Chains A and B, each alone.
Chain A
Amino acid sequence: MTLHRGEHGVLRRLDLPEDVAYRLMLLGFVPGADVEFSGSAPGGDPRVFRVEGTEVALRRETAEQMIIDGN
């Protein structure tokens, strides 16, 4: 599902290549983590997520492969 600005969700899984998923997990994007959508660059790409207190920017196609459930 797509989050709107300021909305929280729970990360279910990462449908991404292993090395990308690895890096994201080290940054806190693990299944079960609380993820907040902070906003994006003008145009919607890249998208910025707040996880565990820090902002991380991801390109749209990577962000779309993160499956997040709403609360």
Chain B
Amino acid sequence: MPRDFRTALPRREFLWLSAAGFAGFFGLWAMVAASGLVPERFLPSPWAVLSRFRELTSSPFVGHTIQQHLASSLGRYALGFGLAAAVGVPLGLAMGWYRWLDDVVTPLFEGVRFIAPIAWVPFAALWFGTGIGGPVLIIFMGAFPPALINAYRGAKFVEPRLIEAGRMLGASGARMIAQVLLPASVPSIVAGLRISAGLGWQSLVGAELIVASSGIGYLMVKGQSNISTTTVMCGMVAIGIVGYLIDVALRRVEARIQDGRGRSPQ
């Protein structure tokens, strides 16, 4: 049956195609690895990576099993992402309400946000060495901008008549922000936090390559110095899977909030 190319495929077809994508990728990888064109040391087969992964779950590598490395990464991640959300969202909303705050923060922010999270690594290393502060600072730098920008946009695009209603009822600035701008901006804030979460996770692993003594990035960099390509690739797989799971979880939260507001009036 002819179909508009933009309409989503039926679910079964979608699953088929994504399975085919994975199969093609792993098939090609396995073929190249089996052909002997690339030395096994640099391109191990998929099964070699899988069996190394199993090994890492039970026997420690550079002090910890892969689960423990992941746990320590996730701890830092939660701290950095939590801080970014806790500062970015209220600040963004307040900037959306107080014009002077907008004028103070925006020029500064517009400059700082172009310093990539990874560019904070040398500074973080100087300040914190391999302590927890370094990775937390770097993930904060990755996660903060979308949290702030989306809260700010949400606050700016609140329906004017709700703001007028709030002012008419005598709401103070703090009450306007907490009880009008915040609830009205929830969809935008959650969308922003989803982007924050992804960027934060990406920056965290980058940070751990340099300024940590545990964690999934640390595992990878040690794998590299031991010329254990399987270990490095196990780290990459773990990053991909966890990142994907974080995104799925947040997408669920987002969908639930949209559903709850689906029948919202006006």
Q: Do A and B bind each other?
A: no
